[in-house]
Amino acid sequence: MAAKQKIWAGLGLVACLALPLIITDRYIQHLLVMSLIFVIFSSSWNLITGYSGQLNMGHAAFFGIGAYASALLALKLGVSPWIGMFLGGLLAAAAGFLLGIPALRLSGPYLAITTIGFAEILRLVAMNWVDLTRGSLGLYGIPPLPGFWGIRFTSELTFYYVALAAAAWALFCFRRITRSEFGLSLQAMREDEIGAESIGIGTNRYKLTVFTISAFFGGFAGALLAHYQRLISPDMLSLGETFQALTMTMIGGLGTLTGPVIGAVLLTFLSEGLRFVEDAVKMDVRLIIYGGLLIVTILFMRGGIMGLWERWRGRSAGDGEEA
Amino acid sequence: MESLFLQQVVNGLIVGSVYSLIAVGLTMIFGVMRISNFAHGDFSMVGAYIAVFILAWVPGWFGWVGSLVAALAGVGILGLVVERGLFRPLITRWTDLDQIMASVGLFFVMENLAQLFFGATPRMLPDPFQGATVDFGLFSTSMMRVLCISMAVGIIILLQIYLNRARMGVAIQATAQNRNAAQLMGININLIYGLTFALGSALAGLGGVLYGTIFAIYPTMGAIPTLKAFVVTILGGMGNIRGAIFSGFILGVAESLGGAYVSMEYKNAIGFVILILVLLIIPHGLFGRSEE
Amino acid sequence: MAILETKHVTKNFGGLTALQDVSFALEKGEVMGLIGPNGAGKTTLINILSGAFHPSEGKVIYQGEDISRLKANLVNERGIARTFQVVRIFKRLTVLENVLTAMVDRGKDGPWRLVWGSFFRRACAFNQDRDACATADGLLASVGLLDYRDERAENLPYAMSKRLEIARALATRPKVLLLDEPSSGLNPAEQNEQIKIIRQINEQGISILIIEHVMKVIMDISHRLIVLHYGEKIAEGEPEAVYNDPLVVEAYLGGEGNA
């Protein structure tokens, strides 16, 4: 079993590495990069909401903080984006800790609206602190990741490998964290907070910790996007951005490691597949589709694609035993 | 100085009356069904567009009366459809998470469908008074805004009478207080759910029409009433109708004063700042919860 | 020697007094039954002992330390574990994971140490850690749950979910176990099984305070009984003596009449 898994993982890795060499269309490569960034962003949201059960509707705040911090550090202070990305993540982590404080007391709709408010306040700051952020125009001309050994990270192809490494690293961390004592405790807290406290889980510290970690990766993903697009705007802090992560995760499978990965890739490509529709009606139909898919998932497909897979596997295993 | 202050308070009360009206619908739905509908403000948007189209078709007073009636009926029916199609199936097996996320999904669907059908151009409702203003000495305001606050207050009073006098209104209140007891007394819970959601949504629709007398109408406008209504609802204690009414006015005035004396740019953040402070200090809102 | 005691504990909820000046001592190694009609404040007392509530007045002393103000997780860390009247198991975790979660040594540094540690382990998942699983399996076997090991907790039959809660409480290595109606809703055969399990736990030296409505269970396993009535302690002593105490008889017959 373990050997089989290793073979599959190896094949997957080779496929990921070879993919942009086989598909040389720059547009598809661009979509791959965007998918990978959203893999990190959605997975980090999943850590708070899927594993710990804390409905965070303000995750875009971390995305935006990471992006703006890293971009501004590079633009104003000349900090290397390689370092800036991590500093952006750390600043987002600090914000995550702050946002974790209300989460100690609030849940459900109260937490949802508070987290929306948090992101919304930051979006207004990004819109109105024109001297620093250039307001709704956004920041442009953000330096790309500096190259080395003659490699420049300005093309989709080279950036793909950066994003792939980042996503692999993030997923490795998420895998380790969620399957550890800590991750199990988070899930226990999600299932029953009082029950969790009765076995010694100090839920307050666990919540603050998971908000901090998740925010770090959210900010890191944002910084990655900033140095890829080299153009960011306050829209990165909007509810719509959180909604993307939420939909991707829900469709893939909330509270699973693979779910957000599947969801992010699927929806990134799907929304581009809708381009021709958008050209016909001259507007963005992406969010209609996202919203519709989300509702369908919640109503008819519990656990998303991973849930379907589990049920299908469970049934076929059951059939096997009977036969 | 004195009159600027008073002027701001009056402006705040006028906007606040609309917040109250919209928030009352939201808090009613929460009180009875435990649904937090993040698409609530989009029902206001639909109501506002109903008014835009009717007033373009029938100008004048007939158009206004027609708009309010059509918004009440149209958004009410829309609410009923949403309740049956989306929230009813969730009611037996939902978690807070599922239900809230479903409503956020609905929010984005409605907002973007509106953009598809109505176009992104902002619209204004025509002023039946041709811009006439009234001067009260220390402050002045437009006739249209006087109409707005009187309508809002009028609707809220009518609602109070309905909830306290009418048979179904009393049944709604009883269900909000104790679902099981209400069921034992022979109240048809499904009927009450449908009615409450339709009524709550219709109030948002009416609020949307009045909102259009003050602000521009555009497809993505729903976000603001949704968020304001939530702030108001939580300040008032979720499910507490009186609390929502008062908090709506409080938020309106606080924003107006904050906009004038603190910062115009951050006017929309004021509600959230108050909300976060209140939630951290008194988690159940200024007026406590209606349920104990 | 008393391991856990309350001194003049009173608990008010708004205007209601749930507990009034309750003092008692749980001796080391004993099983103490806590009985009383519905609404007597039994569960409130367990909530106070386990740190879920804090007393309005009075103190809770555990091994000489005042724990009245400690939060539930810290009380558990000291060595007091509990179960709930309505089970609070982690439904979407497996039976094994329910127990493993409770076994985690959380230490003083809190969650960060666990996060850090997760990057330095041999087995990549805690639920595959051999030593931890062996211990957990032992606990599951002791309550007869080993067959359900990899089942999701939500799929357990009711009686099994009650046992899982006991196993989970034991996994925190307690010195005192507070059981809130461990055999409610069980059939007679299952009740007997439950009694056997509780006895075995006690034989390992764990002191037990148990709330129970089923008189057969409580008379069978308790060394001593205390009786609460309207939040006040009205009797304490040997089961037989308490059972025949006229005050107790009156409380039950005059109150709910479910004795």
With CB atoms and an 8 Å threshold, state whether A128 touches B266: yes
Q: Dihedrals φ, ψ of C232, to 5°?
A: -115, 150
Is B210:B152 a contact under the CB 8 Å cutoff? yes
Closest approach of A155 to chain B, Cα-based (Å) = 33
With CB atoms and an 8 Å threshold, state whether C74 touches A202: yes
Here the tokens at position C16 are: 């209601």
User: Is the pLDDT score of B25 beyond 60?
Assistant: yes
> A36: domain range?
26-237
User: Is the pLDDT score of A1 beyond 70?
Assistant: no
With CB atoms and an 8 Å threshold, state whether A127 touches B265: yes
Exposure of A163 by Cβ count < 10 A (0-12 exposed, 13-18 middle, 19+ buried)? buried
Q: Which helix (H) or strand (E) holds C225?
A: strand C224-229
Is A244:A38 a contact under the CB 8 Å cutoff? yes
- The domain that holds C181 is classified in CATH as 3.40.50.300
**What is the percent of chain C where pLDDT is above 70?**
94
Is A46:A242 a contact under the CB 8 Å cutoff? no
Closest approach of A177 to chain C, Cα-based (Å) = 6
Where in chain B are the domains? 18-222
Mean pLDDT score, A158-171: 90
d(CA B257, CA A295) in angstroms, rounded, equals 40
pLDDT digits (tens, 9 = 90+) for B198-239: 999 999 999 988 888 888 888 888 888 898 898 898 888 878
- Per CB-CB distance under 8 Å, the chain C contacts of A213 are 115
User: Considering its fold, how many domains does chain C have in total?
Assistant: 1
Q: Which helix (H) or strand (E) holds B192?
A: helix B189-214
- Sorted by sequence, the CB contacts under 8 Å of residue B161 that are 6+ apart come out as none
Here the tokens at position A283 are: 């507007």
pLDDT of residue B94: 64
Is C160:C148 a contact under the CB 8 Å cutoff? yes
- Per CB-CB distance under 8 Å, the chain A contacts of C49 are none
d(CA B276, CA B282) in angstroms, rounded, equals 10
Query: Does the beta carbon of A118 lie under 8 angstroms from any beta carbon of chain B?
Result: yes
Mutate to test the interface with B, among A190, A295, A302 (most CBs of B within 10 A): A295
d(CA A94, CA A106) in angstroms, rounded, equals 19
**What is the percent of chain A where pLDDT is above 70?**
96
Residue with tokens 């521009």: B216
Strand A231-232 relative to strand A139-140, pairing: antiparallel
Q: Is the dihedral of CA B33, B38, B39, B43 positive or negative?
A: positive
pLDDT digits (tens, 9 = 90+) for B242-267: 888 888 888 888 888 888 787 777 77
Mean pLDDT score, A226-255: 88
pLDDT digits (tens, 9 = 90+) for C248-258: 777 776 654 44
User: Is the pLDDT score of C134 beyond 70?
Assistant: yes
pLDDT of residue A64: 93
Beta-carbon count within 10 A of B77 CB: 14
User: Considering its fold, how many domains does chain A have in total?
Assistant: 1
Confidence band of C259 (pLDDT split at 50, 70, 90):
very low
DSSP B195-249: HHHHHHHHHHHHHHHHHHHHS-B-GGGGHHHHHHHHHHHHHH-TT-HHHHHHHHH
Mean pLDDT score, B176-183: 82
pLDDT digits (tens, 9 = 90+) for B69-99: 988 999 999 999 999 888 888 877 667 788 8
Mutate to test the interface with A, among B81, B95, B96, B97 (most CBs of A within 10 A): B97
- Per CB-CB distance under 8 Å, the chain C contacts of A199 are 73, 76, 81, 101-102, 168-169, 171-172
Q: Which of C82, C91, C118 sits opposite A182 (nearest CB)?
A: C118
Q: Which of A195, A209, A255 sits opposite C88 (nearest CB)?
A: A195
d(CA A266, CA B230) in angstroms, rounded, equals 33
pLDDT of residue A316: 61
- Per CB-CB distance under 8 Å, the chain C contacts of A180 are 114-115, 117-118, 121, 125-126
Q: Where are the beta strands (DSSP E) in B99-186?
A: 133-135, 140-142
d(CA A60, CA A139) in angstroms, rounded, equals 17
Three-state SS for A82-109 is: HHHHHHHHHHHHHHHHHHHHHHCCCCHH
Query: Does the beta carbon of A129 lie under 8 angstroms from any beta carbon of chain B?
Result: no
> C75: domain range?
2-254
Residue with tokens 């000046």: C21
Q: Which residue of A has its CA nearest to C49?
A: A198
Question: Does residue A70 fall inside a structural domain?
Answer: yes
Confidence band of C165 (pLDDT split at 50, 70, 90):
very high
Question: Does residue C16 fall inside a structural domain?
Answer: yes
pLDDT of residue C123: 59
Q: Which helix (H) or strand (E) holds A69?
A: helix A60-77
Is B205:B41 a contact under the CB 8 Å cutoff? no
Q: Is the dihedral of CA A103, A105, A110, A113 positive or negative?
A: negative
Question: Does residue A275 fall inside a structural domain?
Answer: no
Q: Is the dihedral of CA B256, B124, A236, A108 positive or negative?
A: positive
DSSP A42-60: HHHHHIIIIIT----S-TH
Which residue did the predictor score with more confidence, A42 or A319?
A42
Query: Does the beta carbon of C175 lie under 8 angstroms from any beta carbon of chain A?
Result: no
pLDDT digits (tens, 9 = 90+) for A31-62: 889 999 999 999 999 999 989 988 899 999 99
Q: Which residue of B has its CA nearest to A238?
A: B223
Confidence band of B290 (pLDDT split at 50, 70, 90):
very low
Terminal-residue alpha carbon distance, chain A: 22
Confidence band of B288 (pLDDT split at 50, 70, 90):
low
pLDDT of residue A321: 40
d(CA B245, CA B240) in angstroms, rounded, equals 9
Alpha helices in chain C (DSSP H): 42-49, 72-78, 95-103, 111-117, 130-142, 158-171, 188-203, 215-221, 239-243, 246-254
Is B47:B71 a contact under the CB 8 Å cutoff? yes
- Helix, strand or coil, per DSSP, at residue A120: helix
Is B206:B192 a contact under the CB 8 Å cutoff? no
- Per CB-CB distance under 8 Å, the chain C contacts of A53 are none
- Per CB-CB distance under 8 Å, the chain B contacts of A113 are 227, 230-231, 234, 275
Q: Which residue of A has its CA nearest to C92?
A: A191
Question: Does residue A251 fall inside a structural domain?
Answer: no
Most distant pair of Cα atoms in chain B: their distance: 59
DSSP A187-251: HHHHH-HHHHHHTT--HHHHHHHHHHHHHHHHHHHHHHHHHHHSEE-GGGGSHHHHHHHHHHHHH
ipTM of the complex in this document: 0.86
- Per CB-CB distance under 8 Å, the chain B contacts of A119 are none
Q: How many helices (H) and strands (E) does chain A have?
A: 15, 2
Question: Which DSSP state fits A152?
Answer: -
The number of angstroms, rounded, from the C-alpha of A84 to the middle of its chain's C-alpha atoms is 19
- Sorted by sequence, the CB contacts under 8 Å of residue B260 that are 6+ apart come out as B4, B8
Closest approach of A15 to chain C, Cα-based (Å) = 24
Please, which residues 118-137 of chain C have a Cβ atom closer than 8 Å to chain A? 118-119, 121, 124-127
pLDDT digits (tens, 9 = 90+) for A105-116: 777 888 888 888
- Per CB-CB distance under 8 Å, the chain B contacts of A298 are 90, 98, 101-102, 105
Q: Is the dihedral of CA C48, C221, C244, C212 positive or negative?
A: positive
Question: Does residue A176 fall inside a structural domain?
Answer: yes
Q: Dihedrals φ, ψ of C209, to 5°?
A: -115, 125
pLDDT digits (tens, 9 = 90+) for C101-127: 888 877 776 787 777 777 766 656 777
Residue type, A40: I
Q: Is the dihedral of CA A24, A25, A26, A30 positive or negative?
A: negative
Query: Considering only A177-191, A277-291, C133-147, which range has the smallest mean pLDDT?
Result: A277-291
**What is the percent of chain B where pLDDT is above 70?**
95
Here the tokens at position B180 are: 């099981």
- Sorted by sequence, the CB contacts under 8 Å of residue B204 that are 6+ apart come out as B22, B25, B26, B40, B41, B43, B44, B47, B75, B225, B229
User: Is the pLDDT score of B285 beyond 70?
Assistant: no
User: Is the pLDDT score of C42 beyond 70?
Assistant: yes
With CB atoms and an 8 Å threshold, state whether A284 touches B280: no
Is C153:C93 a contact under the CB 8 Å cutoff? yes
- Per CB-CB distance under 8 Å, the chain B contacts of A102 are 276, 279-280
